[in-house]
A and B are shown apart, each in its own frame.
Chain A
Amino acid sequence: MKKIISTILVSLFATTLAFAAPAAKKAAPAPAPHQQMAPAHNMNHNSFARPYGLSGCGLGSILIDKNHMQIWSMTTNGTYSQLFGISSGTSNCVESPTSAKADRMDKYIVVNKVALADDIARGQGETIQGLAQIMNCQGAEILGSKLQSSFATIFPSHNVSVNDITDHIISIVGQDASLSAACGVTMVSSL
């Protein structure tokens, strides 16, 4: 029990931290300080606001923290798996049933990050298909090569955050005429 409580406290602490930091960054559409914080690349950098940060729910924390991943489903009659991310997202991330595309992508990428980076560098692969499915892309055969040619934009550094990867992918898809149609991504912002 002590363990469970401490896990909650720790995860709360982590999420609060994550919440506090990126929230400030994400909330404002594109103020000047934000521009400085965003990785420098030549395209318009869009952030897709989410109500939370994903800190502490990567594959690493799931596996390292495997013991705690079921804290919510310990009850006798709970339907926690419905309320929380166990069923559709990663297990120690909270799940929002009204989640938007970016939100679904975050949950997919947070687990598949390494494999996805591999596949994008290779221009094809299973995780790209999975991503197309998550993004609801209809017939996006060129997604792989498009993402490959933008690898350095999607993964500008070795420790790019999951939220940023998602944002970069959406930007790239949105700026490609055929992909934005296939995946139903429209860019609201303009240069």
Chain B
Amino acid sequence: MGSRIFTVLFLFALLFATSAIAADPAELEKRAIEKHLWTNLQWINLVHYMPGIFGSDTSQVDGESFFFAPDGKTNPKAEMLATIHAFFRTPTAAELTKPKALTDTDVQAILKQTMDAFQNTAKPMTEAEREQKYEERKQEILKQAPDHPVCQFPARLRFLKRELGWGGEGLPKIECFKQNDFRRRIDAKSVSIVFSSFYLNNPSSTFGHSFMRVNSGLWAQYGNYRNELLDTGVNFAANVTTGNAAVYALFGMLGLMPGTFQTVPYYLKVREYNDYESRDLWSYDLDLTPDEIEMLVDHIWEEVSTFYYYKYFTENCSYHMFTLLDAAAPRLGLEKRLPFYIIPSDTIRVLYRTPGAVKKVTYRPSVRSQFFYRLKRLNPTEVAALNVLVDRHDPDRLDPSLPKESAARVLDAFSDQLEMTSVKDLLVDGSDAQKLKQRILIKRASMGGKSESIEVPAPERSAPHLGHGMRRVTLGTAYENDRGPSTTFGYRFAMHDMLDPGAGYARNMQIDMFGVWARVLNRPTGFRNRFEFDEFNLFKLTALTPLSRYYTAKSVHAELGWKKTYDRDCENGDHRCLPLTLDYGPGWTIDPTGTESISLFAFLQGHATWSPNYQRGNFRLGIGPRVGAVLYLNDTLRFMTFGEWQARLWANDHFPFHLETTLRWGFLPGVAIDATARRERDISEGLAQLHFYY
């Protein structure tokens, strides 16, 4: 007993003594060295060190002002000690003064000056000169509000205080105006990772997108339920310096574009994804402690002032959400769980499986999901009334015999339908869509009465964390009527075709990227087995959008890659060659049941192929129909059949055709088996394959 009291007293004394001594950088430095504190995982994460090829640490951060030590990027220890000393640096006058509010007038004036500087030079400036001028101007704006290290790196400070048992004694007296304002505005109570689902019409969002939402506590003052709109979105994005998609892709893959963190009001994200791009948003609410949340907000502050080179497939938007979380909560160790190449929906699956990370999943419907939910709730009379409005684009055609509540419901659905189909036009002043919308809403408002607030139920089986892994390895066996048996192999980098297990993905879409298929022909003994490529695929994209009176449907099928065909134009003995193939065609899809269980499709497909192994010229151009059906028996059992005919130019064989039927069954999570029958001209082939998703 006595000894315990003594211990407690001793500890107290120690604590007192240390905190008194620690008011001095040298003492803190000594203690950090004793503890080897720079090896602490949180320090590693806060400065974003990653083990390099030769075992040395290198920070992923590319902004120089993120480091105090000259070799801080590669030296965690030097950086820690330099940080300690920087915190004690005497603040400059500018750092101490409350930043003069940079009013709009000031900004106007600065921009005006910049403009004048460019215009008033006698001879036209070179690009380099203009760039320099611009840079100078930027620096001038910057100087108006410099941050002392204490204010610039609150998370590092918090970490050092905690680990060194230091209360911040001896630090210069300084008020961090901007940082305080930032914290007050964000008012963080909890944090979510938000995933916006795939959006086929925009290639740069093919893989989905993820960002962070810091949930504010402000809403509590205003009502009983949560309003997300005024929360803060934290986004990591490339600063795109090109409008050219190809250049963007190239720069993105090579990591030539700087990427930065931005904080924006969440409503901006809602309007952008939910409304403008009609993408559902899924929120994964994180199970973080209040301390971790504080650390996170402080670290966001550190991150917004620096940059990383954006790497499309590795250090991308989703990746940096994870490094951000790891810095705040090293216990999660999220970054280590990621594969090398990162697709946003991968990160969602990883996040969901990480113990202690996610506590709740919520769903926010796109304008499209909202409309179809409203439609489902209308009774047949109301649907008939809505159809008249939709067909005639005229709210005055509303059936006057409808009761007021019905009429209101119909108009609400009509205005959602207009938003779903014409969102871009609605933002153009004077557009027909805008005029129509105005008329609908005037009519609706004049009826009075609150519309019921609709809660679109989450389509739980579409939740992205349920989706199969996007990479797929295939192993199978095949039999061709002319060449006999073979063993097949395949690998696909990403991501989903219509027959793959459907949970977590939308139906009626296929996006395949970077696939390789090959086979070994099993010859009778005495002959050498032969290896050949079946397909080397860059991308394959199919969108089956069923025709509907409520939106203009665009179905499309496109693919690019080297694809083996049986073709009498091929010089090879077995008439196989592997031409570079580009297929593209618009199409039409019918959903006869209205439940997305069957899709019947027809495309008018153009084909361009090039192969050095063709007889006569190397190039063929063809056009023809591609018709077929997809049958979704359930999420795991799916059937597809299609036929393709074409009429070709510059070919000996003018009318090749191709028929194919596949039944695939995802009998276990992550595993599927399928059977395929194929006919090309007079060659038939049967295939049985096993697919593993990871």
Name A's B-contacting residues (CB within 8 A): 1-5, 8-9, 11-12, 15, 19, 50-52, 58-60, 62-63, 66-67, 70-71, 73-84, 86-91, 94-98, 108, 111-112, 114-115, 117-118, 120-127, 129-130, 132-134, 137-138, 144-145, 148-149, 151-152, 155, 157-159
Q: Among A86, A120, A158, find the residue whose CB has the most chain B CB atoms closer than 10 A.
A: A158
* Chain B residue contacts of A12, Cβ below 8 A: 111-112, 114-115
- A137 shortest CB reach to chain B, Å: 7
Across the interface, which residues of A come within 8 angstroms of B307, CB to CB? 74, 76
Give the distance in Å from the alpha carbon of A79 to the alpha carbon of B242 in the complex.
Answer: 24
Select one of A9, A19, A111 contacting B268, CB under 8 A.
A111
Which residues 434-463 of B sit at the A interface, judged by CB distance below 8 A?
Answer: 434-435, 437-438, 440-442, 444-446, 448-451, 453
> B258: CB under 8 A from chain A?
yes
Interface membership of chain B positions 257-295, coded 1 if the CB is closer than 8 angstroms to chain A and 0 otherwise: 010101111011001100110000000000000000000
Q: Please name 19 further chain A to chain B contacts, defined as beta carbons within 8 Å, in addition to the given A111-B267, A121-B441, sorted by A numbering.
A: A50-B104, A73-B239, A74-B258, A74-B307, A77-B64, A79-B178, A87-B182, A87-B304, A91-B262, A98-B103, A114-B271, A117-B437, A118-B441, A120-B441, A121-B440, A122-B451, A144-B450, A158-B435, A159-B434
- The reply to whether A123 and B451 form a contact with Cβ atoms under 8 Å apart is yes
**B131 at interface, CB cutoff 8 A:** yes
The 5 closest A-B pairs by CB, nearest first: A77-B65, A151-B445, A60-B427, A158-B438, A122-B451
Question: Is there contact, CB below 8 Å, between A73 and B265?
Answer: no
The 8 Å CB contact of A79, one of B262, B264, B305, is B305
What is the distance, in angstroms, from A65's C-beta to the closest C-beta of chain B? Answer: 10
B441 engages A111 (CB within 8 Å) = no
Q: Contact partner of A133 among B147, B218, B304, B408, CB < 8 A?
A: B218
**Residues in B whose Cβ lies below 8 Å from that of A87:** 182, 185, 232, 262-264, 304
Q: A133-B222, A151-B445 in contact; A75/B230 too (CB < 8 A)?
A: no
A160 → B minimal CB distance (Å)? 9
Q: What is the CB-to-nearest-CB distance from A181 to chain B, in angstroms, rounded to a whole number?
A: 15
Task: Let me know if B304 and A58 touch, CB within 8 A.
Answer: no
Decide if A78 touches B138 in the complex (CB within 8 Å). Answer: yes
Residues of B within 8 A of A90 (CB): 265, 268
Give which listed residue, A2, A73, A89, contacts B127 with CB less than 8 A: A2
Binding site for A on B (CB under 8 A): 63-66, 101-105, 107-108, 111-112, 114-115, 118, 127, 130-131, 134, 138, 141-142, 144-145, 147, 178, 181-182, 185, 218-219, 221-223, 227-230, 232, 237, 239-243, 258, 260, 262-265, 267-268, 271-272, 275-276, 304-307, 408, 412, 415-416, 419, 423-424, 426-430, 434-435, 437-438, 440-442, 444-446, 448-451, 453
> Smallest Cβ distance from B690 to chain A, in angstroms?
43
Chain B interface mostly: helix
Please tell me if the beta carbons of A82 and B178 are within 8 angstroms of each other in the complex.
Answer: yes
Interface pair B448/A123, CB less than 8 Å apart: yes
Given the known inter-chain contacts A121-B444, A133-B227, please indicate yes or no for A112 contacting B271, CB distance below 8 A: yes
Complex CA–CA separation, A80 to B105 (angstroms): 16
Check if B64 sits within 8 Å of A59, measured CB to CB: no
Q: Chain A contacts of B451 at CB under 8 A? A: 122-125
| Residue from the list B102, B227, B305 in contact with A78, Cβ < 8 A | B305
Our pick among B101, B239, B442 for the contact of A70 (Cβ within 8 Å) is B239
Q: How far is the CB of B407 from chain A (nearest CB, A)?
A: 13
Q: Is the pair A70, B237 in contact by a Cβ cutoff of 8 Å?
A: yes
Nearest CB on B from A20, distance (A): 11
Q: In whole angstroms, how far apart are the Cα atoms of A137 and B426 in the complex?
A: 29
Nearest-neighbour CB distance to chain A for B170, whole angstroms, equals: 25
Q: Which of A8, A78, A152 contacts B445 (CB 8 A)?
A: A152
Are B263 and A86 touching (Cβ within 8 A)?
yes
Q: Give the residue of B105, B258, B448 whose beta carbon is less than 8 angstroms from that of A149.
A: B448
Which residues of chain B come closer than 8 Å to A158, judged between CB atoms? 430, 434-435, 437-438
A contact residues around B138 at 8 Å (CB): 75, 78
Contact assessment for A129 and B222 in the assembled complex, using a CB-CB cutoff below 8 Å: yes
Contact B304 A155 (CB under 8 A): no
Q: Is the CB of B142 within 8 A of A75?
A: yes
In contact, B223 and A129 (Cβ under 8 angstroms): yes
